[in-house]
Amino acid sequence: MIYIWIRRTVDWADEVAALDQLTDPWLIPKVPLWNSTFDMTFQRFRYRLGQIAELNHSRVAGARRAEWEEIPDGALVLPADDDDWFAPDAARTLGQGLDPGVTGYLWPSRWFEVPIDVRHRIHLLRRRLFPSTAPKWTCSTNNYAVVKGPGAKPLLGSHLDASRWFDGQLESGTGAVKRIDAELSVANRTLGSQTTLSQRRLTIRRSELVRKFRRYRRLYDHPPPPELDWCRPYLKLMSELMGELGLR
């Protein structure tokens, strides 16, 4: 059995409790702006995102979502945020490639997203024109897995820590990391994602939020590339959710 572990959990179903559980100081000030801009609260929107991701996770053969304490030592753990998706054969593919002595597994990162800002837009354009351009981080939100053991939780809890560790292992050639040449996951960076909203700024303008909203409404209407065709049902659900989200 391979386990899916959600890094940070918020009880989005309880809209009052959810606000008390938010910890990102850059995100917290944006929630009132969201709730005054849209006719669906930020909490409700995030709850719906979580439902879509949970449906996706339930369809990953050979994997189970679990709390950290429920995962036995030695098990392979797939980290994710509560809105990210995995291919239905992700666990099976990883299971077939398990090697003794390997602690971490890495595969290409794929995203559904709208550029965060101009610099991000330029980076995405560069990667489109020059596919060999390296990503900013080796490990993104859910394109890696780590065997549970001493020191594993910080790597699974932070893709930045994981990137530094994976890079070090790959450079030193220890054999602790194995690359998997398969499209096993998608990071779904939504309008309600922390990175989309926070951007290390305490405030954003309503016009900026509305502009991103309109771009995201178009994003999920496009069919996925052939190698990500398994995302089609979840893109449809995201399109429906964005269709329900309206401006006040």
- Confidence at 123, pLDDT banded by 50, 70, 90: low
Query: What pLDDT, on a 0 to 100 scale, did the predictor assign at position 85?
Result: 98
Query: What pLDDT, on a 0 to 100 scale, did the predictor assign at position 3?
Result: 98
Reported as a single tens digit per residue, the pLDDT across 9-19 is: 899 999 999 99
CA dist 196 and 124 (Å) reads 15
Q: Residue 107 pLDDT more than 70?
A: yes
CA distances from 9 to 21, 27, 44, 83 (A): 9, 15, 15, 11
Lowest mean pLDDT among 7-11, 150-154, 222-226, 234-238: 7-11
CB 7 within 8 A of CB 146: no
Task: Give the three-class secondary structure for 113.
Answer: coil
Q: Measuring CA to CA, which residue among 208, 203, 205, 157 is closest to residue 26?
A: 203
Domain count, the chain: 1
Q: Measuring CA to CA, which residue among 64, 147, 73 is closest to residue 106?
A: 147
Task: Give the domain extent around 198.
Answer: 2-244
Reported as a single tens digit per residue, the pLDDT across 149-172 is: 999 999 999 999 999 999 999 999
Query: What pLDDT, on a 0 to 100 scale, did the predictor assign at position 202?
Result: 80
Mean pLDDT computed over 206-235? 95
Q: Residue 49 pLDDT more than 90?
A: yes
Residue found under tokens 């922390």? 194
Mean pLDDT computed over 217-242? 96
Task: Give the three-class secondary structure for 125.
Answer: helix
Average pLDDT score over the chain: 92
Query: What pLDDT, on a 0 to 100 scale, did the predictor assign at position 131?
Result: 64
Residue found under tokens 């990210």? 84
Buried b (16+ CB within 10 A) or exposed e, 70-92: ebeeebbbbbbbbbbbbbebbbe
Q: Residue 83 pLDDT more than 60?
A: yes
